[in-house]
Amino acid sequence: MTNVTVVGSQWGDEGKGKIVDWLSERAEIVVRFQGGHNAGHTLVVDGVTYKLSLLPSGVVRPGKLGIIGNGVVVDPWHLLKEIAAIREKGVDVGPDNLRVAENACLILPLHAEIDRLREEARGAAKIGTTGRGIGPAYEDKVARRAIRLCDLADPATLKTKLDELLRHHDALRKGLGFAPVDRASLEKALAEMAPQILPYADPVWPFLDEAVRKGRRILFEGAQGALLYIYHGTCPFLTSSNTVAAQAATGAGVGPHAAGFVLGITKAYTTRVGSGPFPTELTDAVGQGLGERGHEFGTVTGRPRRCGWFDAVLVRQSVRVGGIRGIALTKLDVLDGMDELKVCVAYDIDGRRYDRLPAAQHLQARAVPVYETMRGWKESTRGARSWAELPAAAVKYIVRIEELIGCRVAMLSTSPERNDTILTADPFAGV
């Protein structure tokens, strides 16, 4: 058996929460390895809906260990609120089943403040940030001035690091015309929060190393999607972390071999939240219908998602860049009842045909999709649990997607309920 790494293959919101929950029943350890509380995973278990953003999705299942790795930027106040909220739903979460990497960097209130201030200053050129401080926290991380979880345990270290952090942020705020950070209030908030969060702090990498050596099943859970990847996404409309499977190793503190089978969660159509290029976007009644049937609203922000046809060019790019070995195709049922479906197979940019999305922003903005039209189906696929229950046209659609992206469909989701899933290949078996 092998470990499994779950990543998004589009712009996020592909339905990772349900798939991770489905897989976590067979895993012993579930690890979040990047992102922050800008990500939202929705789980529906026995009719109960859980909305998670920092907690690993496996935490709702008894007997599973959840780990927040060093690749995640952690808002400790949000994490404590999320733990309290899920406890109210009867889920037991504590230091015995949740561990946070002691070297994880923290998101502080000043990060959210500067995030919003800079987004407002951009005016019409907004990049669509959630305003939760994720980008600024990653900036401080790579600049070596971030406050880490372990720093909360030593007041002297914390004071020195705050000196360095505020030297930068106060200058930045002054340039934007705002007052310096209220250091006294920040220090008080940190002092009050530290005793609550430090019991979760742990050097998780030695534990994971031992777990890998013993062959324990580990599920690495990614957030967002490959098209928001800081290196190969649609710059500058990106998240600030590495969203592909390679980050599972560095974001958890294990070797690259531990990532195992890479499963790319892929929606049967395409959605995007916020600004940025979207070649197959539909601004007509068809796009509105997809949004309504798919309940396309961001889990974290509540913002309506932009909807469009399936873009095989982008998913193929995600498969190749991210090392995806199988996809979990979600929300097939949203396409039920449509007369015809379109799939983007290439782009036309200024009369030249592209089989990839160019990195240059001006070319991305001019990408016109080249479509292949397929017959839709009138029958319902919702709740199907075997290939025999699917309409022939739906099967043809799935097979054509496999051909175009160069990757097989390992799992098929036909509703938000965890058991409405068709398994064609076992990710934990590595096949």
Q: Which residues are catalytic?
A: 13, 41
Query: Among 241, 161, 198, 256, which residue's Cα sits nearest to residue 76?
Result: 198
Closest C-alpha to 310, from 401, 415, 406, 410: 401
DSSP 60-79: GSTTPEEEE-TTBEE-HHHH
Say if residues 216 and 28 touch (Cβ distance below 8 Å).
Answer: yes
- Which run of H or of E encompasses 370? strand 368-375
Residue identified by tokens 């324990």 is 216
Please give the helix or strand (H or E) that residue 352 lies within, else none: strand 352-354
CA separation for the pair 425, 422 (Å, rounded): 9
| Count of alpha carbons within 13 angstroms of residue 196, beta-carbon side | 14
At residue 168, the 3 state secondary structure works out as helix
* H or E element that contains 286: helix 285-293
414 burial via Cβ count (<10 Å: 0-12, 13-18, 19+): buried
